[in-house]
């Protein structure tokens, strides 16, 4: 396998998600169009506050949870 | 309006005097029974058995309905009832969302019991007037009103020939008629339907509350299942209750300080956090229009798609900035700091009998914007508000109307029906004028509007039998189950939500469980057992609101700041405890979460057995249309081809390369339908039901619900 074909991944809500250089929580939110306001974010079990989304870099192999709280009705 | 003349033309048919009495820990311990066939009015005791097994609210409604009807009773039979009951917590003013009533009847859409919850002042004022529930049976041959004078202890049945029928006028007329003066109007609450409720099967009940700042009667709706249709079939024009001394302590609670303390804590949360979370105080439930679009969950063109570029035109900020009046108290009962009952004032109507009138439109709720708008591809905020207004005043359910119209539009676009059949209406997606014309026709009882007003289930049969439509295709795209139209969320990508809709008692309404984020986005319930646990807990938890008189919205449309650090944030544990504390404060009953779930389970299983008695409620009745599970048409598949191809590859091990769309759709369908069957198995097991969906005798024993009449229904189905 050539280097170019290696895909690095993180876990996002226990599903594979492609990692890229400079990936932040904010960028994941943009890619996934996560716009719901009541969201809980954890990286490897540690809570990340909203004001830190842009500065929180995600590394290859990290376990990211972006939990949307139930709504509707 | 000449109110004096209207009142003078009332003919008294019956009068009943009663002792006002006192409420004891949330209960009046009696029910007002009114028979409008023979004009008898009685007081019935609320028994300890009723309180123990059914609590109140929906529990009382279903119990009375069970005793009033037989397996052959249909919605328009005289013995069918309409029961309105608030529940023991109904009417407290210290916690948010405590003015709800539950309304039960046999539904014209489903032929089984329907329950619908509603705000407004009627439920609390009914209780303060001395009644835990109002039970109406019989049919009148003339238009009548029932008036409960809770100040003087008098109930009357009166012929009322001259008043209007449409809700926004009738509510004003009767409020004016029964209030002593402007200040007194808030002490009068009215229940009405509307002209459209007479000519469709999805009529609603409008519950008023008087808005002292706007100086108008506002309307909240018991919307699902056609109870307004039953109401008009009984020739009921209105129910009115008057009670003039609302205070915060009328429930004579067990320990008021607990309720006060819990309420203060909650109100602070709303004040500090609402603008950072769902913005309920500014926009109400419509805050999620653009959210649903972003997650591909907004129903577009009869649930074919989940998003549309034009959603931008109807996003919540459009309504906030251009239409909804801000800065006024919009609670539908005293003390509700969430205050989400938004309204557009001075809205100019463009069509129909009230064209040119400037009116107050209650809403839009999310369901209205999604159903009347996106699902019919009408991306115009003023069109949505006008449809919303006419639905309400004509007494038509916005959800059933939206879903039924979307279905008719798809049938029209696909050539299943044509302009000849629609009597000239061009029912293309996006055609607001045709959509609103359907409503005007329902109001007048003429044209194709009366066909759409029969609902999706009956339209399907008609289109097959009369116009030769393909039955299987219509089953796939007709978004109804048990006869009730789907509410407005796309469930294709969430198996749990397919169950959240399909494994309900009354039909596909999301008020039992909304699990899409937990399942599809969060991936928190990956196994069948996980999904089954969620489809047990949430429906039972949410049933509980309807037993006590609570509104669901304050539970999780705002959450405490530290909720995220709890073990199960989705359940909002602090708010669950708040409810248990409030109920303890009101009734003196100290409940655990397990007790709470068990209370709901009793009523939930009772309703399931009631369905079985009426001929529905088995596994075959929990089948759902494929449109709610996956792509029915090539266009749907190909619009999200990458998603579906990936799932074929990763979940089924099916290589999509070189396959036609039809082949891929068939493989996906087989997989998804099989998943749904496995889900049913898991959920039935968790709920204590057998593989046919029948509660087991063992489970009834566990619930202490071994009533002989229930055992009789299920003993041969074990």
* The residue to which tokens 């039992």 are assigned: B512
The distance from CA B264 to its chain's CA centroid, rounded to whole angstroms, is 29
Of A15, A40, A71, which has the smallest distance from its Cβ to B288's Cβ?
A71
Does B186 have pLDDT greater than 60? yes
Pick the more confident residue, B571 or A4. B571
Contact, B132 vs B59, CB < 8 A?
A: no
Chain B residue numbers touching A47 (CB-CB < 8 A): 564-565
Section B556-563 average pLDDT: 92
Does A6 have pLDDT greater than 80? no
The CA distance from B97 to the nearest CA of chain A, in Å, is: 14
Q: Kindly state the helix (H) or strand (E) to which residue A66 belongs, with its residue range.
A: strand A63-68
* The residue to which tokens 């995600």 are assigned: A58
B714 touches chain A (CB under 8 A): no
Which of A36, A40, A72 lies closest to A53, judged by CA?
A40
Backbone angles phi, psi at B194, to 5 degrees: 160, 170
The CA distance from B273 to the nearest CA of chain A, in Å, is: 11
What is the chain A residue with the closest CA to B538?
A70
Report CB contact under 8 Å: A69, B563. Answer: yes
Residues contacting residue A2 through CB under 8 Å, at least 6 positions apart: none
Of A13, A37, A70, which has the smallest distance from its Cβ to B556's Cβ?
A70
Q: Kindly state the helix (H) or strand (E) to which residue A46 belongs, with its residue range.
A: strand A46-48
Chain A residue numbers touching B553 (CB-CB < 8 A): 73
Chain A residue numbers touching B295 (CB-CB < 8 A): 33, 36
Name residue B34's beta-bridge partners: B41, B136
Determine the Cα–Cα distance for residues B645 and B626; give it in Å rounded to an integer: 18
Q: Quick check: ipTM above 0.90?
A: yes
* DSSP-assigned letter for residue B521: I
Burial letters for B538-551: b for 16+ Cβ neighbours within 10 Å, e otherwise? bbbbbbbbbbbbbb
Determine the Cα–Cα distance for residues B565 and B559; give it in Å rounded to an integer: 12
Section B346-366 average pLDDT: 95
Does B291 have pLDDT greater than 80? yes
Determine the Cα–Cα distance for residues B245 and B91; give it in Å rounded to an integer: 12
The CA distance from B292 to the nearest CA of chain A, in Å, is: 9
Residues contacting residue B620 through CB under 8 Å, at least 6 positions apart: none
Does A72 have pLDDT greater than 60? no
B514 touches chain A (CB under 8 A): yes
Section B172-195 average pLDDT: 98
What is the chain B residue with the closest CA to A49?
B564
Homologous superfamily, domain A3-68: Beta-grasp domain (3.10.20.30)
> What percent of chain B stands above pLDDT 90?
94
pLDDT at A73: 47
Q: What would the pLDDT profile of B409-438 be if each residue is shown by its tens digit?
A: 999 999 999 999 999 999 999 999 999 999
Residues contacting residue A68 through CB under 8 Å, at least 6 positions apart: A34, A36, A38, A39, B517, B518, B521, B522
Q: How long is chain B? A: 718
CB proximity under 8 Å: A 30-69 to B: 33-38, 40, 47, 65-69
* The residue to which tokens 């008898």 are assigned: B40
Confidence grade of residue B253 (pLDDT, cut at 50, 70, 90): very high
Residues contacting residue B527 through CB under 8 Å, at least 6 positions apart: none
What is the chain B residue with the closest CA to A33?
B294
Section B195-199 average pLDDT: 98
Report CB contact under 8 Å: A38, B277. Answer: yes
Does B282 have pLDDT greater than 90? no
pLDDT at B611: 98
Determine the Cα–Cα distance for residues B700 and B404; give it in Å rounded to an integer: 37
To probe the interface with B, which of A16, A35, A72 has the most B CB atoms within 10 Å? A72
Domains and CATH numbers, chain B: 3-242 (3.60.9.10), 256-485 (1.10.569.10), 495-717 (1.10.599.10)
Section B326-348 average pLDDT: 89
Does B649 have pLDDT greater than 70? yes
Does B464 have pLDDT greater than 50? yes
Contact, B111 vs B616, CB < 8 A?
A: yes
Give the number of other CB atoms < 10 A from CB of residue B35: 19
Pick the more confident residue, B358 or B556. B358
Chain A residue numbers touching B518 (CB-CB < 8 A): 68, 70
pLDDT at A5: 59
What is the chain A residue with the closest CA to B290?
A35
Q: What would the pLDDT profile of A15-65 be if each residue is shown by its tens digit?
A: 999 999 999 999 999 999 999 988 999 999 999 999 999 999 999 999 999
Which of B95, B117, B110 lies closest to B511, judged by CA?
B117
Report CB contact under 8 Å: B564, A40. Answer: yes
Chain A residue numbers touching B297 (CB-CB < 8 A): none
Give me the total of CB pairs closer than 8 Å, taking one residue from chain A and one from chain B.
Answer: 72
Instruction: Report the mean per-residue pLDDT for chain B.
Output: 96
Give the number of other CB atoms < 10 A from CB of residue B411: 25
Determine the Cα–Cα distance for residues B682 and B499; give it in Å rounded to an integer: 11
Q: Kindly state the helix (H) or strand (E) to which residue B104 belongs, with its residue range.
A: strand B101-106
Report CB contact under 8 Å: B565, A69. Answer: no
The CA distance from A70 to the nearest CA of chain B, in Å, is: 6
What is the chain B residue with the closest CA to A38?
B277
DSSP 3-state of A9: strand
The distance from CA B113 to its chain's CA centroid, rounded to whole angstroms, is 13
Q: What is the 3-state secondary structure (H, E, C) of B140-169?
A: CCCCEEEEEECCCCEEEEEECCCCCCCHHH
**Cα radius of gyration rounded to whole Å, chain B:** 24
Section B19-48 average pLDDT: 97
The CA distance from A3 to the nearest CA of chain B, in Å, is: 24
Confidence grade of residue B446 (pLDDT, cut at 50, 70, 90): very high
Report CB contact under 8 Å: A70, B511. Answer: no
Contact, B221 vs B205, CB < 8 A?
A: yes
Confidence grade of residue B285 (pLDDT, cut at 50, 70, 90): confident
The CA distance from B399 to the nearest CA of chain A, in Å, is: 12
DSSP 3-state of B483: coil
């Amino acid at each position: 396998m050539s280097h170019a074909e290696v895909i690095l991944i993180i876990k996002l809500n226990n599903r594979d998600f492609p990692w890229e250089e400079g990936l932040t929580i904010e960028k994941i939110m943009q890619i996934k169009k996560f716009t719901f306001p009541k969201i809980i974010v954890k990286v490897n079990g540690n809570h990340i506050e909203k004001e830190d989304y842009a500065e929180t870099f995600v590394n290859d192999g990290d376990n990211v949870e972006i939990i949307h709280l139930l709504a509707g009705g | 309006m000449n109110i004096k003349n209207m009142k003078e033309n009332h003919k008294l048919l019956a009068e009943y005097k009663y002792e006002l009495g006192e409420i004891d820990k949330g209960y009046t311990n009696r029910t007002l029974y009114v028979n409008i066939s023979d004009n008898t009015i009685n007081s019935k005791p609320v028994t300890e058995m009723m309180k123990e097994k059914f609590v109140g609210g929906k529990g009382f409604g279903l119990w009375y309905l069970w005793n009033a009807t037989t397996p052959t009773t249909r919605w328009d039979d005289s013995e069918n009832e309409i029961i309105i009951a608030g529940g023991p917590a109904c009417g407290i003013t210290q916690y948010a969302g405590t003015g709800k009533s539950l309304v039960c009847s046999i539904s014209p859409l489903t032929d089984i019991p329907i329950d619908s919850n509603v705000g407004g002042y009627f439920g609390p004022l009914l209780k303060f007037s001395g009644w835990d529930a109002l039970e109406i049976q019989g049919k009148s041959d003339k238009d009548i009103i029932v008036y409960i004078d809770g100040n003087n202890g008098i109930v009357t049945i009166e012929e009322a020939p001259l008043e209007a029928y449409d809700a926004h006028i009738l509510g004003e007329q009767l409020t004016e008629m029964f209030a002593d003066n402007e200040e007194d109007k808030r002490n009068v609450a009215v229940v009405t339907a509307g002209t459209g409720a007479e000519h469709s099967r999805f009529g609603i009940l409008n519950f008023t509350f008087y808005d002292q700042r706007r100086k108008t009667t506002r309307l909240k709706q018991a919307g699902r299942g056609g109870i307004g249709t039953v109401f008009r079939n009984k020739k009921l024009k209105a129910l009115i209750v008057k009670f003039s001394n609302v205070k915060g302590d009328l429930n004579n609670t067990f320990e008021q300080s607990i309720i006060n303390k819990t309420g203060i804590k909650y109100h602070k949360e709303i004040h500090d956090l609402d603008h950072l979370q769902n913005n309920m105080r500014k926009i109400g439930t419509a805050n999620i229009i653009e959210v649903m679009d972003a997650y591909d969950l907004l129903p577009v063109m009869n649930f074919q798609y989940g998003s549309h570029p034009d959603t931008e035109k109807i996003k919540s900020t459009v309504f906030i900035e251009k239409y909804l009046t801000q800065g006024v108290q919009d609670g539908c009962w005293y003390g509700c700091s969430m205050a989400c009952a938004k309204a557009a004032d001075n809205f100019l109507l463009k069509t129909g009998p009230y064209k040119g009138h400037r009116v107050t439109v209650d809403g839009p709720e999310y369901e209205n914007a999604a159903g009347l708008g996106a699902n019919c591809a009408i991306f115009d905020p003023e069109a949505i508000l006008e449809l919303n207004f006419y639905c309400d005043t004509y007494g038509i359910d916005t959800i059933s109307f939206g879903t039924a119209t979307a279905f008719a539009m798809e049938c029209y676009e696909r050539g299943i029906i044509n302009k000849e059949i629609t009597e000239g209406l061009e029912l293309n997606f996006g055609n607001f004028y045709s959509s609103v014309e359907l409503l005007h026709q329902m109001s007048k009882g003429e044209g194709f509007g009366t066909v759409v007003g029969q609902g999706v289930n009956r339209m399907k049969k008609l289109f097959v039998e009369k116009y030769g439509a393909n039955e299987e295709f219509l089953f796939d795209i007709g978004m109804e189950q048990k006869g009730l139209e789907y509410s407005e969320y796309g469930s294709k990508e969430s198996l749990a939500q397919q169950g959240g809709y399909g494994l309900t008692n009354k039909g596909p309404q999301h008020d039992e469980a909304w699990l899409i984020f937990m399942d599809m986005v969060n991936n928190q319930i990956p196994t069948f057992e996980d999904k089954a646990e969620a489809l047990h807990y949430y429906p039972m938890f949410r049933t509980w609101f309807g037993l006590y008189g609570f509104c669901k919205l304050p539970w999780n449309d705002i959450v405490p700041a530290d909720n995220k650090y709890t073990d199960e944030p989705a359940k909002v544990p602090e708010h669950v405890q708040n409810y248990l504390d409030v109920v303890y404060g009101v009734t003196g009953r100290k409940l655990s979460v397990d007790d709470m779930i068990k209370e709901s389970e009793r009523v939930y299983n009772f309703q399931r057995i009631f369905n079985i008695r009426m001929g529905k409620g088995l596994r075959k009745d929990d089948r759902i249309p494929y449109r709610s599970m996956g792509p029915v048409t090539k266009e749907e598949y190909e619009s999200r081809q990458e998603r579906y191809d990936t799932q074929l590859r990763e979940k089924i091990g099916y290589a999509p390369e070189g396959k036609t769309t039809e082949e891929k759709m068939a493989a996906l369908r087989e997989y998804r339908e099989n998943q749904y069957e496995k889900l049913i198995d898991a959920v039935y097991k968790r709920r204590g039901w057998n593989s046919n969906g029948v509660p087991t005798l063992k489970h009834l024993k566990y619930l202490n619900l071994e009533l002989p009449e229930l055992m009789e229904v299920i003993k041969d189905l074990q």
